[in-house]
Amino acid sequence: MAPEHFVPVAWQKWKLVGYLAVLALSIIFGSAYAGPLAAPVKVFFVVLGALQFIGVFGLMHESAHGHLAASRKVNRWLGEAMSVIVGTSYPGYRAAHLTHHAKFRTEADPQEIIFPRRSAPATMALLTVASVVGAPVFLLVRAPIIALKHTGVVRALWGPVAAVALYATLSQVLPSAQWYFLLWTLIAGSVLGSLNDMVYHQGLVAEDTLQACTSFDCDLFGQVFLSGANRHAEHHAYPDVPGPRLVKVAKVLREDFHARGIPYERSFTVAYLRRFTTNPLFLPPRSAVEPVRVEK
């Protein structure tokens, strides 16, 4: 892979300003709208706001990989700031996510649902719950616990504590209509984020292979809201490539990935519906083709 593919993209961090601006506008207009078709219009603004939260999370993911700036300090400061918005511990999230890449689809993967091995009913129950609330449970509970194993109490928990303070303050200063609209937006973001996470890996082979990663062709949506994570197989093959550069990398790798059996999907909705209708519990298949190991 050419060296220029690994250079951070300077403009990417400024997407945070856009996410927060659109989030604020969606809450203001959505909570105030009382015209025709009020229910669908409000749902539209809830989903629009939820996508901004997912966008902030996507940038935090990029920060965890060191992709937002050449300076490690700037990356960390940005990641810490965004962790307050999504209500998690940045050190815990970063440690867990980098371990996810290093120990992918193994007992040591802290982001994995099907490991450690459990009974079939327990695994099915966990996958069902994770498809709805997996993202908030991981961010609000698991990441802070993991952080406490890697750093001091203050650094591990300041993000979640600051998040509680932030949203407690907003509950007092925002008009009640806007505050409740924000709560619904947070809930929608949590559910959509959980559904999104499911189709990256679940329902695929239970192996440390690229065949357990899906690449999504929806690059416009992926770049706007996921900072390139839609190209998830490419991201796992080359985690040091910043998200915006994965579009070009995906074109280079596509023929080889197709030949190796890496799954491609047009969109998250299509992928989710296909897997839900054929494998509603998102269990890994009982048999798989010869695995393609993830490059480390």
Is the pTM value of this prediction over 0.75? Answer: yes
Is it the case that residue 238 has pLDDT exceeding 60? Answer: yes
pLDDT single digits (tens) 26-76:
999 999 999 999 999 999 999 999 999 999 999 999 999 999 999 999 999
Tell which wins on pLDDT, 116 or 242.
Answer: 242
d(C-alpha 181, C-alpha 46), whole Å: 7
- Dihedral sign computed on CA atoms, order 218, 25, 84, 187: negative
- Whole-number percent of the chain with pLDDT over 90: 91
pLDDT the model gives residue 57: 98
Residues 272/273/274/276 CA torsion (nearest 10 deg):
80
End-to-end CA distance of the chain: 14
CA dist 250 and 64 (Å) reads 21
User: What pLDDT does 293 receive?
Assistant: 54
Answer yes or no: is pLDDT of 164 > 60: yes
| Residues 256-288: tens digit of each pLDDT | 999 999 999 999 999 999 999 999 889 998 754
What local confidence, expressed as pLDDT, does residue 294 receive?
56
Q: How confident is the model at residue 290 (pLDDT cuts 50, 70, 90)?
A: very low
| Structure confidence by residue, pLDDT tens digits, 170-210 | 999 999 999 999 999 999 999 999 999 999 999 999 999 99
Following DSSP, what letter does each residue of 208-231 receive, concatenated? SBGGGS-EE--HHHHHHHSTTTTB
